[in-house]
Structure 1
Amino acid sequence: MTNRPIRIAPSILSADFSRLGEEVVALDNAGADYFHVDIMDGHFVPNISFGPGVMQSIRKLTKKPFDVHLMIAPVDPYVSAFAKAGADSITVHAEAGPHLHRTLQAIRAEGKRTGVAINPATPLSAVEHILDDIDLLLVMSINPGFGGQTFIPHAMEKIRLANALIGNRPIELEVDGGVSAANAGELAQAGINVFVAGTAILGGNDTSTYASRIAAIRDAATTIRA
């Protein structure tokens, strides 16, 4: 797992929504590997972001993969809409529906990569029996719903355990919450290869800084592997 390519996935939740298209183009040019698209419903999490229409409007601005994180419940009725809006991978929370395996089948039926997210209090056992049905495992290192939160320290051990559970399966291990150049090295050592970062990249919304911020996270993650 630790040999999987490092991917930096800026969270567009931290973008300046008054110029969202410009932000997407700037992040693309700055070296983003994925775009992490946080979808919040104000029910499963205490915030509302945007829907498939907004996502579809920015899809044409980049060819980079859209890593779509659905923080909504029930999630099943919306899988198809976000797939059609341009998602490349769709990650759902283990608690967001009664039948996780069925939800993953629905995502796969849309031709998309499958992912499961586990919250800080969600045990890894929640995904143990569906590992062979996913392409990505997202370990939340904050409670989902808002950007700018601090990394929860005990998430690091959970990441190590998740990496061991994945073993040699071709599954990307992603982290979301409080990620920065300061902890990217330790996260990479623990097994992370996809780094979701909002404030650490987009804080201040100065597009001239995005490339250096992305590079700093990438450098910290890759140096530890050398």
Structure 2
Amino acid sequence: MFEPVKIAPSILSADFMNMRADIETIERGGAGYVHVDVMDGHFVPNLTLGVPFVKQLKKIASIPLDVHLMISNPLVQLPWFLDAGADIVTVHLEALDEVEGEVGQAIGMIKAAGAKAALSIKPDTPVARIAPHIGSLDMVLVMSVYPGFSGQSYIEGSDARVAEVVALAEEAGANPLIEVDGGMGVKTAGLVASCGADVLVAGNAVFGAPDPAVAIAEITAAAEAARREADIRE
């Protein structure tokens, strides 16, 4: 576990009238991924980005597109986003029928298209529910806010859920990246990074800063410092 920390700025907080410039700024600033929040107005109350946007974004971004599907029918729409150029696709466990094997179907579809497969859980979903799938995943996304709107505050205790994912992965002999989304910034990055988070989604903390590139560097530094401190304690 413990890959170098990467920041995935959420473009939901970017300037949509100057998207190319914002993408170039975060790339120069060392962002690891472009995080794309797709909301359908059903699985979550908000309505955001769709396939045409992802397709155009793929033309201007030189770093991987981390597409987070907060939608009620992922098995239907997955091929659309994969064709549009998503590099990592996250589906929500809660949107899939586990009894009918839909989680495995979704992971298989993503991997067959050559993309990386990720599974996300809401703050009130038991971490143990991802255990049957963790060996097949490239990434696990732990939501540290309830999905649906940007700008929410970090839910205390989310770092403990990250540690649970780490324990599940180690028990299974798996090594997925662990991503955390919600309320990430300088003050919270260390909490989750010290527990094993590898990828931090940051929206307002990056695009709302006077200099997004500086913000990326500061969040990364806070996360890495907390990791070093955790190693010292151990």
Is the pair's TM-score, using the shorter chain for normalization, greater than 0.5? yes
Amino acid corresponding to residue 32 of structure 1 in structure 2:
A
Partner of residue 16, structure 1: 15
The one-letter amino acid of 1:172's match is L
Q: Distance in 1 between matches of 2:13 and 2:82?
A: 22
Q: What is the identity, as a one-letter code, of the residue corresponding to 1:145? A: G
The match for 1:172 is 177
Amino acid at match of 1:149: Q
Counterpart AA for 2:223? A
| Residue in structure 2 matching 1:185, options 185, 190, 193 | 190
* 2-structure distance, mates of 1:22, 1:45: 29
| SS of equivalent to 1:190 | coil
Residue aligning to 1:92: 91
| Structure holding more helix per residue | 2
Deviations 1:43-101 (A, max 9, x none): 00111111111111121112201111000011111111111111111000001122111
Instruction: Give 1:197's aligned residue.
Output: 202
| SS at 2:180 equivalent | strand
> How does 1:27-176 map onto structure 2 within 5 Å?
27-98=26-97, 99-167=102-170, 168-176=173-181
Identity, % of aligned positions: 39
Q: Following TM superposition, by how much is the alpha carbon of 1:174 offset from its aligned partner in structure 2, in angstroms?
A: 0.5
The residue identity in structure 1 corresponding to 2:146 is: N
* Contact persistence 2:90–2:119 (CA under 8 A): yes
- How far is the alpha carbon of 1:179 from its aligned partner? 0.5
Asked whether the equivalents of residues 135 and 169 of structure 2 are also in contact (C-alpha less than 8 Å), the reply is no
Alpha-carbon shift at residue 157 of structure 1 (Å): 1.3
* Pairwise CA distance, 1:169: 1.8
Given that residues 154 and 188 in structure 2 are in contact (C-alpha distance below 8 angstroms), is that contact kept between their aligned partners in structure 1? no
Amino acid in structure 2 at the alignment position of 1:202: F
User: In the alignment, what sits opposite 2:231?
Assistant: none
Q: Which amino acid letter does the alignment assign opposite residue 27 of structure 2?
A: D
| Distance in 2 (alpha carbons) for counterparts of 1:30 and 1:156 | 26
| Deviation sequence 1:153-178 (CA, Å, 0-9, x none) | 02121111111111152200010000
Q: Mean Cα displacement is larger for which, 16-25 or 148-157?
A: 16-25
Amino acid at match of 1:41: D
Residue type matched to 2:186 in 1?
Answer: A
Separation (CA, whole Å) in 2 of partners of 1:25 and 1:85: 20
Question: What is the one-letter code of the residue matched to 2:159?
Answer: M
For the residue of structure 1 that corresponds to 2:132, the secondary structure is coil
* Amino acid corresponding to residue 187 of structure 1 in structure 2: V
Number of the residue aligned with 1:211: 213
Measure, in 2, the Cα distance between the counterparts of 1:215 and 1:108.
Answer: 31
> 3-state DSSP class of the match of 1:25?
helix
Quote the offset at 1:194 in angstroms. 0.3
- Structure 1 residue 18, shift from structure 2 partner: 1.9
How far residue 21 of structure 1 moved from its aligned partner, in angstroms, is 2.2
Q: Unpaired segments of 5 or more residues in structure 2?
A: 229-234
Amino acid of the structure 1 residue aligned with 2:139: L
Residue 95 of structure 2 aligns with an amino acid whose one-letter code is: A
Aligned-pair CA distance for 1:109: 1.3
In 1, Cα distance between equivalents of 2:189 and 2:26? 19
Query: Which consecutive aligned stretches of 4+ in structure 1 deviate over 4 angstroms post-superposition?
Result: none
Q: Distance in 2 between matches of 1:85 and 1:25?
A: 20
